[in-house]
Structures are given as structure tokens and as C-alpha cells.
Amino acid sequence: MRDHDLPALERRSRGKSRFDDDEPQFLKRGRPTEPLADPDSEPDPDTGERWSSWDDAVHGPHPHPAWLVTELAAKDTELGVLKTGKEADVHLVRRAVPDTDRSCLLAVKRYRDPEHRLFHRDAGYLEGRRVRRSRENRAMAGRTAFGRQMIAGQWAAAEFAALARLWEIGAGHDRIAVPYPVQLRGTELMLEFVGDAESGEAAPRLAQLRPDPGELRDLWAQLVEALRVLARAGYAHGDLSPYNLLVHQGRLVVIDLPQVVDVVANPQGPEFLARDVRVVGAWFAARGLPAEQVDPAVLTGELLHEAGLR
């Protein structure tokens, strides 16, 4: 990946934030920090199509996957809602080049309008993500309309950047599966659709499954490895549960990372990490995995060691 395409999330000196949102690299190129006003953004009333927004968005890591449609002649068609949430809704979109067989499905995460978003627990997550300009700091602290928009932008940018970093890590020798981050445009994040490309059916969440003992052990092993990779990168998921882990063709996929926590820069980082372990460990233990395999204290200690905190 070229340095100017994405913000660097490599580990810096101890105690220094990796989430410095004062003009991150991909916004220094003049990218907008709020949704764009585009006369072509409204769908055609007859077909539901709109022109692809690829040309005015921040792109995911290079090389782009072969399945991804990047042609500027492509059009996006809304196919429905995959998930609604307190902070964002996820839509299913087909991006296709007319009169060709080039198409792909995308999951499009749209953070809610600042007047309707619920910032119910954001203070703890935002520690370690600093904006140096005092006006923005005051607006965020006071939850003004502008401040809420700034926070929404931070969530989108943080999730995009973390997914980009983890995608690159997962493409190497470390084992972690995340959706490919296709593009970021304001507070709209386009991601790889994880599921059946023919039917448009999303992969089930871990919470929906009742795995047999062998599958349970394999999924736990995948999860522990993913947590180790996150910790080595300096991250805790921050809100990990069986509801933001997908299982696609036997592969565990980590999703929903807007609240990703820097375990070094955030004073509460180790607590977020410990909570992640407790929540998912309890789910596996309740489904029959031996308690000694899911001991939260042991795994948390190992992960803190991976993060360089022990």
C-alpha cells in the first residue's frame, strides 16, 4: 500500500496515540470530512441506480481484490437493508458495469445523521484519539451538532483505518479475517459483503449458530488467534461479542470496528480488552467448551503481553 493512500496505524512511541484525527493522511489530500453533496447521488427513480462513487472516495489497500469493481462506468443499486443499529445502518448494494458481467456486492455502512445518532458510550472509546485544534475539542466535548458530526467522522475513519491495517496483516502470515474496506466517503463506509454472492444472504453471526464440539473448538482457536493479532497490532476490539463475529464457510470474520481501542494510548485499553475476552469466553463456555480453555484471566494476560503491556 502506498503511504499516501491510508493513515499509518503502525505502532509509534509508547503513550502516543495512533488515532490522531487532526487531518489524517487520507484527508490531507483534500478529502471531505462530511457527506458529499452530489447531484448524481440520488438514485434513478426508475432503476434505483446511481453512478459509482469510487472516483471521489478514499480507497482501500492495494492491491485491490480481483472481485472488486473499480470501473468509473459502474453503477450502484440499492438492494435493501442488512442491519440497523444505534450508530449506523448497513445496506446491501450491487456495483455493476452496465452491459457486462462485472459486478460485486458491497455492504455499505452509513453512520446516522448527527441529530439522530446515539452517542451512548463514546467517551471511553475516544480516549487516545486526539484532535489538536481546540475548537474541535470543545465541540466534541460539548456534543454540539458540529461536535457530533466530528465524532461520527472519527468512528468512520477509525473503522476504515483499522480494517485496512488488519486486512494487510491478514494477507501476510498472521491469521485474522476482516471484510475488505472498499472505500470511505464522508461518514459512509463501503465494505466487502460477507455472505452468499448469488442470493445476497449475509453470513450468520456467531450468536445464531449452534456448533458441534469440533466446530466449537475450531471457532475458538480462530478467535484466539484473531485476538492475538489484534493485540500485537496494539488494538482491542472494544465491543466484541458473538453478534459482531460472522462465520462464513467455516471462517470466523471480525466485523464492527468503529470503536476499536488503542490499548497503549487509551488508559482504559486493558479494561476494554479484558471485557472483550470475558464476553466471548462466556459464550463459548456456555456452549460446552471446557472452562480451563476459556479462562478469561489467563487469555487476557497473554493478550496484554502480546500488546507489550506486560
Q: What is the pLDDT, as a whole number, of residue 158?
A: 87
What is the pLDDT confidence band of residue 122, given thresholds at 50, 70 and 90? low
Alpha-carbon gap, residue 11 to 16, rounded angstroms: 9
Q: How far apart are the first and last CA of the chain?
A: 31
User: What confidence score (pLDDT) does residue 280 get?
Assistant: 98
> Phi-psi category of 200—alpha, beta or left, where left has phi over 0 and alpha has psi -120 to 50?
left
Q: Would the pLDDT of 170 be above 90?
A: no
Q: What is the pLDDT of residue 120?
A: 46
- Per-residue pLDDT tens digits for 19-39: 333 333 433 333 333 434 343
Share of the chain above pLDDT 90, in %: 62
pLDDT for 64 beyond 80:
yes
pLDDT digits (tens, 9 = 90+) for 215-253: 999 999 999 999 999 999 999 999 999 999 999 999 999
The residues annotated with a catalytic role in the active site are 239, 256
**Residue 50, SS3?**
strand
The rounded mean pLDDT for the chain is 81
Give the span between the Cα atoms of 247 and 261, in whole angstroms.
23
